Amino acid sequence: MIRVETAFEGKVALVTGGSSGIGLATARLLSERGAHVWLVARRREPLQSALSQVKGACRSSSQLCGIISADVTDVKQAEAAVTEVTGACGAPDILVNSAGDVDPCVVQEMDMNVIRQLMELNYFGGVNMTRACLPSMIARRSGHIVNISSVYGFLGGYGYSAYCASKFAVRGFSDSLRAELKPLGIQVSVVFPQDTATPQLERENQLKSPVIKALYDSQVMTPEAVARAIVRGIARRQYIIIPGAEGRLVFLLTRVLGNGTYWLMDRLVARSKKKVESMRK
Ligand SMILES: NC(=O)c1ccc[n+]([C@@H]2O[C@H](COP(=O)([O-])OP(=O)(O)OC[C@H]3O[C@@H](n4cnc5c(N)ncnc54)[C@H](OP(=O)(O)O)[C@@H]3O)[C@@H](O)[C@H]2O)c1
């Protein structure tokens, strides 16, 4: 049995989206557990403030931590980020692909550029970072890639077509990656968080239409609770990680109800539309 407390000592962890939310909480926890932690995001200022939190969480002065300003949607920048970490403290043992965004909107009202950007970031961003890390992981026959999907990565929901497509893509990619990398000694995990109190959720709530707002009344987790599930899942080499009880329930229901899931969803959408209509009168 691998102990969560010691599984990360001396490991090099690279966390994209590490300046905020789930990525930052995961980075802090990995640092508490003794890993050398590197954060990737675009904006320098949030990265600097995240770095001081991550350094503050280190359990030993021998741990190395750093930041890299890079856009993960750019293949060259993704490769350069991995090269920089490797030069500074060794090739990444753990890659957490947490950089992501959301834009809730019905498909006919969405800008096509936004639909493409969500796929570029939520899906291709992770693909770029994974491909940049793989050569050294394959050479060492070890490593762990963690892809953050969403509950919207196993159930499509009203108002989330672009986001769901990108998060389903993360799930499909992870399934295949797991099968391909297992014989090479590399682990893969895919994480399906439910609503989590982060800047992403704040932005998302501001963008929701009244119907989307009325439809979803989910339990909100803290990023720290999600990070604990992620770190525990990595230590246990768990493939599917569903941090929250609500997420686990929805996962189970989609399997038990089958087509009944969509019947239920249609009723909930109809109820929300009715509620919004009656509020307008
Ligand atoms: N919060 C939720 O309710 C929730 C639920 C399920 C799944 N998730 C998923 O969990 C992951 C983390 O979300 P979060 O809520 O923690 O988001 P967040 O707090 O908004 O953080 C997003 C992070 O990604 C970085 N980022 C954005 N675009 C980037 C790019 N092109 N290149 C590099 N870094 C980039 C941001 O920094 P810069 O802007 O400076 O680049 C930031 O560090 C996402 O994949 C999200 O879809 C979130």
pLDDT for 127-169, tens place per residue?
A: 999 999 999 999 999 999 999 999 999 999 999 999 999 999 9
Q: Of the residues 19, 31, 98, 149, which is catalytic?
A: 149
- Checking if the pLDDT of 3 tops 70, the result is no
Q: What is the CATH number of the domain that holds 171?
A: 3.40.50.720
Kindly report each contact of residues 42-51 with a partner whose C-beta sits within 8 Å and lies 24 or more positions away, as own/partner.
42/69, 42/70, 42/71, 43/19, 43/69, 44/69, 46/19, 46/20, 47/18, 47/19, 49/19, 50/18, 50/19, 50/20, 50/24
Q: Contact 96/146 with Cβ under 8 angstroms? A: yes
- Residue 5 maps to a domain: no
- Residue 3 maps to a domain: no
Q: What is the pLDDT of residue 279?
A: 85
> What confidence category does residue 119 fall into, taking pLDDT thresholds of 50, 70 and 90?
very high
> What confidence category does residue 2 fall into, taking pLDDT thresholds of 50, 70 and 90?
low
Which of 150, 251, 135, 250 has the alpha carbon at shortest distance from 191?
Answer: 150
Say what the pTM is.
Answer: 0.97
Q: What is the pLDDT of residue 218?
A: 86
Q: Residue 183, exposed/middle/buried by CB under 10 A (0-12, 13-18, 19+)?
A: exposed
Q: Is the CB of 10 under 6 A from ligand 1?
A: no
Higher-scoring residue by pLDDT: 45, 213:
45
- Checking if the pLDDT of 189 tops 60, the result is yes
- Tell me the longest C-alpha to C-alpha distance in the chain: 65
Which of 216, 165, 172, 166 has the alpha carbon at shortest distance from 194?
Answer: 216
Q: Is the CB of 150 under 6 A from ligand 1?
A: yes
- Residue 6 maps to a domain: no
Cross-strand partners of 190: 147, 240
Measured CA to CA, the distance from residue 95 to residue 14 in angstroms comes to 5
- Residue 7 maps to a domain: no
Q: What is the pLDDT of residue 216?
A: 87
- Output the average pLDDT for the chain: 96
Atom of ligand 1 nearest to the CA of 41: 34
Q: What is the pLDDT of residue 59?
A: 95
Q: Is 262 an annotated catalytic residue?
A: no
Q: If you average pLDDT over residues 58-87, what whole number do you get?
A: 97
- Quote the domain boundaries for residue 28: 12-276
Q: If you average pLDDT over residues 91-101, what whole number do you get?
A: 98
pLDDT in tens, 145-155: 999 999 999 99
- Checking if the pLDDT of 222 tops 90, the result is yes
Mutate to test the pocket of ligand 1, among 16, 20, 97 (most ligand atoms within 8 A of CB): 20
- Residue 131 maps to a domain: yes
pLDDT in tens, 33-71: 999 999 999 999 999 999 999 999 999 999 999 999 999
pLDDT in tens, 251-279: 999 999 999 999 999 999 999 999 998 88
Q: Is the CB of 19 under 6 A from ligand 1?
A: yes
Q: Is 163 an annotated catalytic residue?
A: yes
Q: What is the pLDDT of residue 245?
A: 97
Measured CA to CA, the distance from residue 43 to residue 20 in angstroms comes to 11
- Residue 281 maps to a domain: no
Report CA dihedral (63, 64, 69, 75) to the nearest 10 degrees: -100
Q: Is the CB of 77 under 6 A from ligand 1?
A: no
Q: Of the residues 11, 161, 163, 272, which is catalytic?
A: 163
Q: Is 167 an annotated catalytic residue?
A: yes
The protein residue with its alpha carbon nearest to ligand 1, atom 19, reads: 21
- Residue 150 maps to a domain: yes
Q: If you average pLDDT over residues 219-234, what whole number do you get?
A: 98
Kindly report each contact of residues 249-255 with a partner whose C-beta sits within 8 Å and lies 24 or more positions away, as own/partner.
250/151, 250/154, 250/155, 250/194, 251/151, 251/154, 251/192, 254/154, 254/155
- Checking if the pLDDT of 114 tops 90, the result is yes
The protein residue with its alpha carbon nearest to ligand 1, atom 30, reads: 71
Give the total number of structural domains in the chain: 1
Residue 30's SS3 state is helix
Q: What is the pLDDT of residue 192?
A: 98
